[in-house]
Amino acid sequence: MWHSSLRSSPWRQWYQPGVPREVDIPDVPVTRLLDDAADRYPRNPALIFFGRRICYRDLREAADRFADGLHRLGVQPGDRVALILPNCPQQVIAFFGVLRRGAIAVQHNPLYTEEEMLRQLADCGARVAVVLDRSYTTVEAVRARAGLEHVIVTSLADFLPATRRLALRLPLVQMQRRRAAITADVPHDPGVVPFKELQRAPTRRVRQLPLDPSRHLAAIQYTGGTEGRPKGAMLTHRNLVANACQQHAWDLDGRPGEDVTLAVLPLFHSFGLMSCLVAPVMTAGAVVLLPRYDGDRVVRAIRRYRPTIFPGVPTLYEQVLDSPRLRPDDLRSPRIFICGAMGLSQSTIDRLTEVGARGLINCYGLTEASPAVTANPLGGGARNLTVGLPLPMTDAVIVDQDEPTKVLPPGGTGEVVVRGPQVFAGYWNAPLATAQTLSKGWLRTGDIGVMDDKGFITIVDRQRDMIKVSGFTVSPSEVEKVLHRHSAVHECAVVGVPDARRGERIIAHVVEHPAYPFSADELRRHCERYLSHYKVPSEFLPRTELPRNMLGKVVRQRLRDEFAASSAQRMGPARSG
């Protein structure tokens, strides 16, 4: 469809010199990356967790033990195994152990509510779940309805050095009480297994079960779960290996066996999974695992371990910059800051530059693409107000939103459509959604963007967030940029809500600056000065904070849902006729 309209891939001439146009992608399972690292650098640290170091040889052995334990629990190739864990050694061990067994890793946020957890567990049909003790009660409450046969329970303390068990501010007696509570709740349930028990199996190499990397799934990553039915993106072994190879090819200064990646991003998110686990393992780098974000702890980790790669999001970088513990030279050790998931502002760029941070590259990706699609060039060619250029072996076009077969010329604003070896196999149990998203290898991202004549892409908005007012299309980000120009606006988010007369009307949710309180009339006059009348919000609602996901992105759907609920309450119960 779109391949015939591709221009001559103008972005390639703007690659950093030495970055290849094509990448050799080995036809191997993801576990081969771990095997190769363990063979080449057996004693190098693979994971660092509050001072405890696990070398590559020991990580492979632990993953083999876990795979053997899954076999004893009856897990078969193709079975789904739910991982409900924060960043910790058990998450990494379980991930590679599941894949070694030929099963599929399905990752979930351990902070999910019962409803959210049940929805995803039931959808993927997981037989086994690996759960942090803090999340056990949530999983136990939905276990029967979700059809889980076994629940493997672990604690963060299981892999902490004895001298560091207080590092998480969890007194040992509290941990013992927590474990006792779990044991008391299910003392005779054979379906509950301590994680440690699966690590007591006899040490032996467990062979990777034969599989076709291009067809067999490695992971199901859920996306869009806040908007009705969750969609599980099916990622094959080749998808993940390909994206790791693409990122490795982009980084010409990569140092196999020497790089240190700071893993603050959650590994259960596709961004964290690739940039903080799969890609580092491919180059046998060390991964510093932090189970949750804490500004002071991040700064201490940077100072102690001197990471060379720091994947993050703008809000994370801002919080690190705001930490009173940050010293002027703390952010000079990373040679790359991989920034993604949301728009990067000039203010954040300037603040990082002021403290001597180098190698900042703004990137773009989505779960359905494993996730990386574009990146800014390293070596001084970054244009970080854009999301950069398509990665090697990645094609991208901008198509008309109303006529998606029409490819727009440079400068045209439309939907971003991409193709490459990292593009997923479809949505789990959702053939209609798959057909609407995939066409002959091309992925309709649902993101609105513009490509310049050099191939640099700027993301404007999500298609589902665009607002239709009286037939006119309004970009929320355009209105938000205008609002941000008012000194009273600290943060804001703009959404569209149903309107009987105009189709939709615009609502602005505003967090005011503590020193500059605002009035709705004042903000309306401000918007009228810079925006067409149909783009001016009809309401300005004050808030103390905006709802965000684990990566710090504003969840506009939650704002829409809250507004709908409050409107229903104002209208009162429906009258019977």
pLDDT digits (tens, 9 = 90+) for 522-546: 999 999 999 888 899 999 999 999 9
Share of the chain above pLDDT 70, in %: 90
pLDDT band of residue 1 (cuts 50, 70, 90) is low
Q: Angle at Cα 221 formed by Cα 31 and Cα 259, nearest 5°?
A: 50
CB atoms within 10 A of CB 207: 9
* pLDDT of 175 above 90: no
* pLDDT of 189 above 90: no
Q: What is the model's pLDDT at position 457?
A: 98
Q: What is the model's pLDDT at position 203?
A: 62
Exposure on the CB side of residue 379, measured as CA atoms within 13 A:
12
Q: What Cα–Cα distance (Å) separates residue 482 from each residue in 282, 410, 479, 492?
A: 43, 25, 5, 10
pLDDT band of residue 163 (cuts 50, 70, 90) is low
| Residue partners of 188: CB distance under 8 A and separation at least 6 | none
| Residue partners of 224: CB distance under 8 A and separation at least 6 | 230, 231
Structure tokens, 131:
């759960």
| Residue partners of 573: CB distance under 8 A and separation at least 6 | none
Count structural domains, the chain.
1
Lowest mean pLDDT among 46-55, 89-98, 169-178, 490-499: 169-178
Structure tokens, 165:
């068990």
* CA-based R_g, the chain, Å: 24
* pLDDT of 168 above 60: no
Lowest mean pLDDT among 129-133, 351-355, 453-457, 498-502: 498-502
What's the average model confidence in pLDDT over 506-533? Answer: 91
* 476 part of a folded domain: yes
What's the average model confidence in pLDDT over 295-324? Answer: 92
Q: Average model confidence (pLDDT) for the chain?
A: 89
* 557 part of a folded domain: yes
* pLDDT of 2 above 80: no
CATH number, domain of 543, equals 3.30.300.30
* 542 part of a folded domain: yes
pLDDT band of residue 500 (cuts 50, 70, 90) is confident
* 53 part of a folded domain: no
Q: Which of the two residues, 470 and 332, has the higher pLDDT score?
A: 332
CA–CA distance, 81 with 204 (Å, rounded to integer): 22
pLDDT tens column, 437-473: 999 999 999 999 999 999 999 998 887 888 988 767 7
* pLDDT of 571 above 70: no
Buried-state track 492-503, b at ≥16 Cβ within 10 A, e below 16: bbbbbbeeeebe
pLDDT tens column, 358-389: 999 999 999 999 999 999 999 989 999 999 99
Q: What is the model's pLDDT at position 576?
A: 36
Sign, Cα dihedral of 138, 139, 141, 142: positive
Give me the phi and psi of 104, to 5 degrees please.
-115, 125
* 351 part of a folded domain: no
Q: Which domain holds residue 562?
A: 466-571
Give me the phi and psi of 406, to 5 degrees please.
-95, 115
What's the average model confidence in pLDDT over 417-444? Answer: 95
Residue 413: its H or E element: strand 413-419
pLDDT band of residue 225 (cuts 50, 70, 90) is very low
Strand residues in 4-127 grouped as ranges (E): 45-49, 52-55, 80-84, 104-107
Confidence (pTM) = 0.85
Give me the phi and psi of 321, to 5 degrees please.
-65, -30
Q: Angle at Cα 318 formed by Cα 265 and Cα 517, nearest 5°?
A: 125
pLDDT tens column, 27-78: 999 999 999 999 999 999 999 999 999 999 999 999 999 999 999 999 999 9
pLDDT band of residue 328 (cuts 50, 70, 90) is confident
* 518 part of a folded domain: yes
